[in-house]
Amino acid sequence: MKTHLSRSLPLLAAVALLLVLSPASVLRAQPPGGGPGADAGARGAGPGGPGFMLPRIARALDLSDAQVEQTRALLQDLGDTVKPLREQGQALRQEIADLLDSDSPDATAIGEKVIEGHSLREQSRAAWEDLQTAFEALLTPAQKERWELLKDIRAFLGGPQDGPHDGPRGGQHGPGGPGGQV
């Protein structure tokens, strides 16, 4: 085990450095101001697309070409699911702002909109959880072990652990945009 760990340390250090320096989550669904379906992000290639970190993950986990393609398809499905939720969240935030800016804000109407926003965040969270489960099902036992280690390193360094919804208000990126707030 010690020999295996000794060989893995340089790789782990490099991956940890990439994760710390990277502005994106490991498997990122929504960039601020853009999302799947917008420019290169829809193909998973752009800096804001869902596959932004895929080349790094593929190298770190030594994914096969088939695994990379399957992961790319999972990320595209995630984008197809989350994009309308994000758009609905943006519209909902504007509706809430308009309601709050009115001469006599209706607390009931505002509360209903906030509840709608919570539902959108929960749907987005579920999509992320589905992605995580499906991605992990593609991995070999050795890759799963490395993946768990990468997630542990990310958590230790203070980064998002399971997608865009960490924390009480939804994390960095969700259907409502930065902060996941709707």
pLDDT digit string (tens) for 49-60?
557 789 999 999
Range with the largest mean pLDDT of 2-6, 15-19, 143-147, 170-174: 143-147
Q: What is the pLDDT of residue 170?
A: 42
Q: Which amino acid is at 64?
A: S
Average pLDDT over residues 30-57: 52
Question: How many domains would you assign to the chain?
Answer: 1
Mean pLDDT of all residues belonging to the chain? 73
Report yes or no: 41 and 50 within 8 Å, Cβ to Cβ. Answer: yes
pLDDT in tens, 65-75: 999 999 999 99
Q: What is the pLDDT of residue 135?
A: 95
End-to-end CA distance of the chain: 47
Integer Cα distance of 116 and 128 in angstroms: 19
**Percentage of the chain modeled with pLDDT above 90:** 52
**Where in the sequence is the domain holding 56, given as residue range(s)?**
2-178
**Global confidence as pTM:** 0.61
Q: Which helix (H) or strand (E) holds 123?
A: helix 107-138
pLDDT band per the 50, 70, 90 thresholds, residue 180: very low
Task: Answer whether residue 109 shows pLDDT above 70.
Answer: yes
Q: Name every residue whose Cβ is closer than 8 Å to that of residue 7 and which is 6 or more positions away in sequence.
A: none
Name which of 85-94, 121-130, 151-160 the model is least confident about.
151-160
